[in-house]
A = this chain, B = another copy of it.
């Protein structure tokens, strides 16, 4: 039974980790750490936890952390680059839900995050936690850079088609949409109900920090290197990401080939579902769950494929994949603590 720590517990990623770890069969102690609200009873801040988690938040203490089996960090950019290096080589496994250890080129981090990157030798220690594509490395790594929400949705749907050469990687366009919880619990005008509700926004055109992460992972897993066009939209709903990607199919490729490829790629991957027959595909199909649903359609008029994937941004796009990676690290069933019917209605 594991002793688990969550740093950044008061953010939405932290709260979702707590929801999932609370029902995990191999976890028996969860400690919550924060750099604000130390000593505060957690359920006084989040009333839905009353009777479930009435313990105080702890201040971050390296000695305490070093004694845990695993530490999750759900912190803003720039925090784990300082917090995690002293724990490298120590006992706890480390899973970072922030972007600090994802980009292997420190200049990319500096450019897209506009912050000081972690030292290059530390970056080498981290393994990119795209569970379905990196199981072997994850199982041996101490430090996992858990993927971003958008990259997870995009990569799971595109990588099989790119690695098999069924679509052309040179002109990929990704139109991504997210629910508002992706913006976290920081108050802002674009998350203020009266201005968010009944409003569909486009934001960070061509500037999202997930662009280099997607391109790096395409390079790593599919050996392709063209830049992508990537835009992000904010949808008036709480949870859910849909990535709608567009790419030319290569010569003579049919829709059936794409589906066959996707099904083969994810045979044995319980959280990826290939949806062959569908009039509609929606984010609610995976609400509250660790599933990623993928659908594809070839337009024979243009020889382009439209590739659709949906995830719950807080689960498969964050806390769920983090728990999945923990399962892989510790040799548990990959689905431990993560099974369950999505909350469709």
Assess the B229–A198 pair: CB atoms within 8 A: no
- A280-306, CB < 8 A from B: 280-289, 291, 293, 295, 297, 299, 301-302, 304, 306
Please give the distance in Å from A286's CB to the nearest CB on chain B. 7
- Note all chain B residues with C-beta closer than 8 A to A344: 15, 46, 48-49, 195
**Residue A221 at the B interface, CB < 8 A?**
no
Bound state CA distance, A204 and B306, in angstroms? 12
- A185-205, CB < 8 A from B: 185, 187-205
Bound state CA distance, A228 and B301, in angstroms? 8
- A255-299, CB < 8 A from B: 270, 273, 275, 277-289, 291, 293, 295, 297, 299
Q: Per a CB cutoff under 8 Å, which of B189, B203, B293, B341 touches A52?
A: B341
- Note all chain B residues with C-beta closer than 8 A to A19: 340-341, 343
**Residue A107 at the B interface, CB < 8 A?**
no
Assess the B227–A301 pair: CB atoms within 8 A: yes
Q: Per a CB cutoff under 8 Å, which of B22, B181, B345 touches A16?
A: B345
The chain B residue with its CB closest to the CB of A207 is B297
- Note all chain B residues with C-beta closer than 8 A to A240: 198-200
Q: Per a CB cutoff under 8 Å, which of B46, B183, B203, B287 touches A198?
A: B287
Assess the B49–A341 pair: CB atoms within 8 A: yes
**Residue A40 at the B interface, CB < 8 A?**
no
**Residue A175 at the B interface, CB < 8 A?**
yes
Assess the A198–B297 pair: CB atoms within 8 A: no
Please give the distance in Å from A142's CB to the nearest CB on chain B. 28
Give the number of times this chain occurs in the complex, counting copies.
Answer: 4
Assuming the contacts A50-B273, A201-B282, asked whether A236 and B236 have C-beta atoms less than 8 A apart, the reply is yes
Assuming the contacts A50-B275, A192-B187, A192-B192, asked whether A199 and B340 have C-beta atoms less than 8 A apart, the reply is no
Please give the distance in Å from A278's CB to the nearest CB on chain B. 7
Residues of A in contact (CB 8 Å), total 95
**Residue A231 at the B interface, CB < 8 A?**
yes
The chain B residue with its CB closest to the CB of A199 is B284
Assess the B235–A235 pair: CB atoms within 8 A: yes
Assess the B195–A48 pair: CB atoms within 8 A: no
Assess the B345–A15 pair: CB atoms within 8 A: yes
Assess the B203–A280 pair: CB atoms within 8 A: yes
Identify the A interface with B (CB < 8 A): 12, 15-16, 18-19, 22-23, 44, 46-53, 171, 173, 175, 177, 179-181, 183, 185, 187-206, 227-229, 231, 233-240, 242, 244, 246, 270, 273, 275, 277-289, 291, 293, 295, 297, 299, 301-302, 304, 306, 308, 310, 314, 339-345
Given contacts A175-B175, A205-B308, A229-B246, 13 further A-B contacts (CB under 8 A): A19-B341, A23-B339, A47-B282, A52-B341, A177-B200, A191-B194, A193-B236, A198-B287, A201-B283, A203-B279, A239-B345, A288-B288, A343-B343
